[in-house]
Amino acid sequence: MLKVFDYEKMPVVEIVNNILVDAAKRDASDIHFDPQEEYLKIRIRIDGDLKDYAEVPNTIKRNMITRIKIISGMNITESRLPQDGAIKTTIEDVNLDLRVSCLPTNLGEKIVIRILDYSMSQAGLETLGFSPSNFEKVARIISVPNGIILVTGATGTGKSTTVYSILQKLNREETNIITVEDPIEMNIEGINQVQVNSEIGLTFAASLRSILRQDPNVIMIGEIRDNETAQIAVRASITGHIVLSTIHTNNSLNTIERLLDMDVERYLLASALEGIISQKLARRLCPKCRKLRPTNEYEKELFKNVLNKDVNETYTNVGCEECTNGFKGRIPIHEVLVVTQTIKDAISNNVRKEELRKLVYTEDVTTMLQDGMEKVIEGETTFEEILKLIELDEDESTAGEDRSNLQNSIEFTKLSQEAAKATLNKLEEAEKKDRNEKSPTNSTSNNISNPAVNSPTSSSTTPSTSSTTNNTSTSTVTSPSTTAPTSSTINNISNSTVTSPNTATPPTNPIPIPPQPTINTNEKASQ
């Protein structure tokens, strides 16, 4: 329903204040003032969607735009060029921190006000909706002494919130943190923040060069947008600094490729890159009115494929007076990559994209599709919402084959499941051998899928035990010595194969191990 003001009697100052406070109270992220032929249309964005808010008659239009330009510190005599401004004030006990942008259009100046909300960033990293395993990985990534940590996602996916939360975690007495941002979205006590000003030549790259002379421990770069910034960021991180930044890509794999496209030297990137946190935002189901509904065949199959779970019911959105169409707020969907030595080696050795993809999507990685569907099971969001997010990736810069669509996500998930299956098979195999106290003997391998495996002194093969889904899960495993595998050998096996420090623990969603085919037992017995 449109909001109606008494434009005849109410002063424009009051109307503007009213709109700002009302939008903030409704948890809107943006307010748009769109000039039309007949009137000025006001829309507000809540939970990612724009909604009509009010229609201001043309008689008031000019005054209203001027008022906003005045309070945001813009030049009111300039109406032909775009301008940026900011408002920081308290109205009716509501603290407002607003970024204002003015763009001349053919019908007049369009103004967009971005409402900055610190409440999420201040609540702490623990409250950002990471799954327990992803949170553990983030904690591991940010505990490194130096290296580059990237948060990726499209515009408006909460990258800044994640970055600020990490900064607050790193913000300690003994640490010198300097940021270079455009714009500074939140002031953090104890941190030195630099606002980029390209008009006077204070670009990201120029600021960074000076910052390096200021003895920083942690450098936060608002966004890596150009080659020079990417190169300085990577160089800074290998000279003993933690560099934290965001980049406009949609997953771990794309991020690595984007940085290489930005002419960052392979060996430097390999040595610098420590972790990539990718995220998207899904609308959160309103806990008051959400309702269970049975899953259909397609959904059942996808849950089975992606999570190996039988899901017969999920929550759906209904709608009540406390929410919009059954949704209230948003939750992030994550993919967290800890860059292992194997991945570093692969980057510096310029392996084919397919190989890199396999190394990135090991069992240790929860894909965004998996993370999202877990959140559907938990009743945090809906199945449709996750599919919409995964399928409709509006990131034009990675259009084409790299577009992170559903097919790609399913493929990434398959890769991580194959890795998990292979590890489980190997553990099982090794345990079996351990029990039988048999020396491993050479046997033939069907397929070698992992180039990172050490050269064998003796090798054993995990037979392909799954008859249905894949024929690539088999990989060659080498035991490090000629002695029979012991429990420590088992650890070595799993580490060398899947390149993750905690692979000894079973994956969160273990895949049932099919029975070993009898032909294999005979083979072994005959040797």
Residues of this chain, 301-340, that bind Zn ion according to CB under 5 A:
320, 322-323
- Contact with Zn ion (CB under 5 A): which of 289, 377, 406, 484? 289
The reply on whether position 46 binds Zn ion by CB under 5 A is no
Is position 286 an interface residue for Zn ion (rule: CB under 5 A)?
yes
How many CB atoms within 10 Å of residue 400? 6
Taking the C-alpha atoms of residue 3 and residue 5, their distance in angstroms, rounded to an integer, is 7
| 291 touches Zn ion by CB under 5 A | no
Contact letters (x/-) for Zn ion, 194-233, by CB under 5 A?
----------------------------------------
When the beta carbons of 289 and 504 are compared against Zn ion, the nearer one is 289
- Contact between 364 and 502 under an 8 Å Cβ cutoff? The reply is yes
Rounded Cα gap, residues 276 and 274, in angstroms: 7
3-class DSSP state of 223: coil
Name the residue nearer to Zn ion (CB basis): 326 or 507: 326
Binding segment toward Zn ion, per CB under 5 A, in 89-97, 167-175, 284-292, 387-395: 284-292
Stretch that binds Zn ion, among 259-267, 282-290, 308-316, 418-426 (CB under 5 A): 282-290
Alpha helices in 97-131 (DSSP H): 119-123
User: Do the strands 313-316 and 291-294 form a parallel or antiparallel pair, or are they unpaired?
Assistant: antiparallel
Cβ proximity to Zn ion: between 110 and 290 the closer is 290
CA nearest to 383, candidates 391, 392, 373: 373
CA distances from 339 to 229, 356, 365 (A): 21, 12, 11
Query: Shortest gap between Cβ of 468 and Zn ion (angstroms)?
Result: 42
Binds Zn ion (CB under 5 A): choice among 172, 266, 288, 388: 288
Nearer to Zn ion, 289 or 513 (CB): 289
In this complex, which beta carbon is closest to Zn ion, that of residue 322 or of residue 391? Answer: 322
Output 129 or 326, the one with its CB closest to Zn ion.
Answer: 326
- Taking the least distance from each CB to Zn ion, the nearer of 317 and 450 is 317
**Smallest gap from residue 290 Cβ to Zn ion (A):** 7
d(CA 193, CA 84): 19
Query: Of 168-176, 289-297, 468-476, 519-527, which segment contacts Zn ion by CB under 5 A?
Result: 289-297
CB of 24 to Zn ion, least distance (A): 21
Going by C-alpha positions, the residue among 279, 116, 126 that lies closest to residue 187 is 116
Number of other residues whose CB lies within 10 A of the CB of residue 82: 11
Contact predicate 161/127, CB 8 Å: no
Q: Which two tokens stand for residue 356?
A: 């890199």
Phi, psi of 400 (to 5 degrees): 100, -145
Answer for the pair 96, 20: CB distance below 8 angstroms, yes or no.
Answer: yes
Separation between Cα atoms, residue 448 and residue 476, nearest integer Å? 6
Q: Which CB sits closer to Zn ion, 82 or 287?
A: 287
For Zn ion, which stretch binds (CB under 5 A), given 75-83, 192-200, 281-289, 342-350? 281-289
Residues lying near Zn ion in the complex (CB under 5 A): 286, 288-289, 320, 322-323
